[in-house]
Amino acid sequence: MATSSSFLSTPLLKASSSFPTHFLSPLKHCVSAPSTEFRALTLYRNRNGVSTSSAAVATETQVSTPDDKLKETRKEKSDKLEKVVLPTNESSESLLRIRHTCAHVMAMAVQKLFPDAKVTIGPWIENGFYYDFDMEPLTDKELKRIKKEMDRIIGRNLPLIREEVSRDEAQRRITALNEPYKLEILDSIKEDPITIYHIGNEWWDLCAGPHVEYTGKINRKAVELESIAGAYWRGDEKKPMLQRIYGTAWESEDQLKAYLHFKEEAKRRDHRRLGQVLDLFSIQNDAGGGLVFWHPKGAIVRHVIEDLWKKIHIERGYDLLYTPHVGKADLWQISGHLDFYKENMYDQMNIEDELYQLRPMNCPYHILIYKRRAHSYHDFPIRVAELGTVYRYELSGSLHGLFRVRGFTQDDAHIFCLEDQIKDEIRGVLDLTEELLLQFGFSKYEVNLSTRPEKSVGDDDIWAKATSALRDALDDKGWSYQIDDGGGAFYGPKIDLKIEDALGRKWQCSTIQVDFNLPQRFDITYVDSNSEKKRPIMIHRAVLGSLERFFGVLIEHYAGDFPLWLSPVQAHVLPVTDTQLDYCKEVTNKLKANGIRGELCHGERLPKLIRNSEMLKIPLMAVVGAKEVETGTVTVRSRFGGDLGTMAIDDFVSTIKSAIESRASI
């Protein structure tokens, strides 16, 4: 049910991303496998004089020249959807009102069809609305019935009427309706009088608004019920499981169509599906939920990411660390994690009468390395970095592919510095962040600077200096940013950065946090120029966030079509017949000897081999027939650049190496 503003602002529980304000076309260089297959065959046959049966020629013509009218119609439809600008709740108050009213209309429809259903909360959310009901599980068929009833209510053009009542009167009405969740919500509303919104004189709800004036203001063709999910009341697994119905609502039918088009494209890019299709990773039920298995192809991408990460960090003055995955429970007591983070930690292990803990963070370990010896002010800044695996307790219902897991590897780093070094160190982190993210094709960011919350540690002076240093570093960098007043951690101000992917979605990625808390808890010090002990500043920072989540974002950003330098397999060597196998092995070995990830594929007819390569999104195909063996060449097709012709093997190798070095496509 909709209630006071604190309930209305409840976000959609979806950790993945933000929806873009406009829909942009996905990568347009992608071509269908059958069409590409026959173009590659045609190229090979034309250049090598291979005869083709009349049936094969007919097939080529049929596949490579689809019905122009149908193609043009689809293109026009796609272009039209790309031009539709999708408003947000923030940019359009009318859209927010529509979505909020849709939640009420849906609740009214549900209770008309299912009189025993109890209502709870129903806010607007990023792309629509939802409502939670205490009722029997729903089916997709019943979802259609609910939508039809909503359409009838909308069509009746009923007024939305605001009423103010006393708390006692609200309680009397709720009790009369036998709505226990409403009573609990009423108790949580602190303001008087209590506001109620009626739909005509048939249904009402506790609500602070806003709403449209009449249900007829909602475009029935711009509303769709999307899915049903389970949700615990108040998010507490010990409380009843409710039925949550998600819906989307827009101002026009065109907006809805553009949104649904976006959803289809997002579904096509879903990293969980592509992870299986491309054999990149899996999560094995026999091992447990939220635990990631990196398959060979996914592992090689991770290897490339890690190597680049380490190279850039070493160049920028970081020392690399490796630290244990477990530690004494006392360590986490000192750090404060057992007091403030225990619900996210796994149970302790008793080893020889001492309690040990799987680590949820890397920070205490880096501090212990700092404390191994005394430090002078001459030593600063000290920068340490680790690709450290941590473990967080997550309920099974919250797990989501690579985006929400129980074990993951953070690209963690900590900087120990002096107060007057904060600005330069933050600027250095911003430069490193940009350098690394640009390598993966991310150039658009949303940046937030979060300042001191009401409850915090540290004195006013150091908070002011640290916040000013973060602001000055951002200004020096020239990045635009928003101020999140009071949104900092209790231990210091922070900068959060979201990256924008190919669909315009924003993903939380990098974070930079100044910490006044852990240096005090662990009593770390240095000796200043006056031979006095002082406490250093500690900066936490992660650029990619976690390797698992970042890999998931990469998969969806590229739709599994990784650029050449990052692709797990960079080239397939394809023989026309098995008589060319020995030569193909030589080509494949030469690719590997030059650091190129090549694979020899055989055992099928050439059309099938080409089709398989396309399905696996292999950047390059080197086709080898009798003429290539005779001339020491390969016939090359690029997934992104089309037909590249016939090349000598050494030229093929040097072309690939040059493209990898420059991060270019061929």
Whether residue 381 is preceded by a cis peptide bond, meaning omega within 30 degrees of 0, is yes
Q: Is 392 among the residues known to form the active site? A: yes
Task: Name the 3-class secondary structure at 74.
Answer: helix
H-assigned helices in 486-537: 518-521
- Confirm if 205 and 1 have CB atoms less than 8 A apart: yes
Residue where the block lists tokens 């993945």? 16
Radius of gyration of the chain measured on its C-alpha atoms:
30
- Confirm if 358 and 326 have CB atoms less than 8 A apart: yes
* CA-CA-CA-CA torsion sign (274, 276, 278, 280): positive
Q: Is 557 among the residues known to form the active site? A: no
Active-site entry in 207, 363, 417, 584: 363
Query: Strand 203-206 vs strand 482-484: parallel, antiparallel, or unpaired?
Result: unpaired
Cα 665 from chain centre? 25
Which string of b and e fits 490-503 if b means at least 16 CB within 10 Å?
Answer: ebbbbbbbbbbbbb
User: For residue 441, what are the CA distances in angstroms to 19, 101, 167, 558?
Assistant: 19, 40, 56, 9
Q: Is 534 among the residues known to form the active site? A: no
Residue 83 neighbours by CB under 8 Å, 6+ apart? none
Side-chain half-sphere exposure of 367, counting CA atoms within 13 A: 24
- Confirm if 282 and 568 have CB atoms less than 8 A apart: no
Active-site entry in 244, 471, 540, 549: 540
Cα 595 from chain centre? 31
Active-site entry in 406, 414, 611, 639: 414
Q: Both tokens of residue 444?
A: 């658009």
User: For residue 142, what are the CA distances in angstroms to 106, 149, 277, 637?
Assistant: 12, 11, 33, 51
Q: Is 540 among the residues known to form the active site? A: yes
The CB-based long-range contact list for 80-84 (8 Å cut-off, 24+ gap) reads 80/254, 81/23, 81/254, 81/257, 81/258, 81/261, 82/23, 82/24, 82/25, 82/258, 84/22, 84/23, 84/254, 84/255, 84/257, 84/258
Packed helices 54-64 and 33-48: angle between N→C axes, nearest 10 degrees: 130
Active-site entry in 100, 244, 359, 494: 494
- Confirm if 253 and 490 have CB atoms less than 8 A apart: no
Cα 323 from chain centre? 27
SS3 of the chain: helix, strand, coil, percent, to 5:
45, 25, 35
Q: What dihedral do alpha carbons 22, 258, 501, 71 form, nearest 10°?
A: -120
Q: Is 316 among the residues known to form the active site? A: no
Task: Name the 3-class secondary structure at 380.
Answer: coil
Active-site entry in 412, 496, 501, 561: 412
What HEC string does 166-219 produce? CHHHHHHHHHHHCCHHHHHHHHHCCCCCEEEEEECCCEEEECCCCCCCEHHHCC
**Distance in Å from the first CA to the final CA of the chain:** 55
Active-site entry in 104, 392, 427, 549: 392
Q: Both tokens of residue 455?
A: 């409850």
Query: Strand 319-320 vs strand 382-391: parallel, antiparallel, or unpaired?
Result: parallel
Q: Both tokens of residue 139?
A: 């089916």
Taking the C-alpha atoms of residue 288 and residue 23, their distance in angstroms, rounded to an integer, is 37
Q: Is 494 among the residues known to form the active site? A: yes
Residue 467 neighbours by CB under 8 Å, 6+ apart? 449, 451, 452, 493
Query: What single letter denotes the amino acid at residue 378?
Result: H
Taking the C-alpha atoms of residue 145 and residue 129, their distance in angstroms, rounded to an integer, is 18
Point out the residues that are catalytic.
363, 392, 410, 412, 414, 494, 540
